[in-house]
């Protein structure tokens, strides 16, 4: 089973870093105030948010075996039967017209499967990823190839 890491955009890295700095700054500022129940709630929320962001940044990946494509983004995960994939479309842009977006880049692939389901992913080795899917299901339509 091949593992494909998600590509990462500079914009997303900047957003993650700024968010982490902001959460740490808010937490440190709260330390200098009077401690009350709200303080503990804020610390727990900030800590959990930091853990979630770090987990997503480090563990967004995709795997393909003989029948399924597995995706994981932090604690969120799923699988898609490759035989149900109808279309793969190249996409570039911040706004992605899908529900699921387990990706760390604004350049990636929209995969349409089943009747109306879709997902946006951004594997680093995009060409190899698509080739492996097409080897398993040659009926997949590939649209909007990268120019």
This prediction's pTM:
0.83
Tens of pLDDT along the chain (147 residues)?
889 999 988 888 888 889 888 887 877 776 676 666 667 777 788 888 888 988 998 999 999 998 999 999 999 999 999 999 999 999 988 888 888 899 999 899 999 999 889 999 999 999 999 999 999 999 999 887 654
Q: Is the CB of residue 25 less than 8 Å from the CB of residue 93?
A: no
Domain assignments of the chain as residue spans, ordered by start: 1-147
Does 2.30.29.30 match the CATH number of domain 1-147? yes
């Amino acid at each position: 089973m091949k593992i494909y890491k998600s590509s990462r955009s500079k914009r997303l890295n900047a957003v993650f870093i700024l968010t982490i700095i902001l959460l740490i700054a808010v937490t440190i500022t709260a330390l200098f105030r009077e401690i009350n129940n709200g303080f503990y709630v804020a610390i727990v929320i900030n800590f959990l948010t930091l853990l979630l962001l770090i987990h997503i940044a480090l563990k967004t990946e995709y795997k393909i075996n003989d029948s399924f494509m597995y995706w994981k983004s932090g604690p969120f995960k799923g699988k898609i039967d490759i035989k149900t994939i109808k279309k793969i479309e190249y996409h570039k842009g911040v706004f992605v017209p899908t529900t699921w977006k387990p990706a760390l880049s604004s350049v990636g692939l929209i995969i349409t499967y089943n009747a109306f389901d879709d997902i946006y992913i951004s594997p680093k080795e995009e060409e190899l990823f698509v080739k492996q899917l097409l080897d398993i299901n040659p009926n997949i339509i590939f649209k909007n190839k990268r120019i």
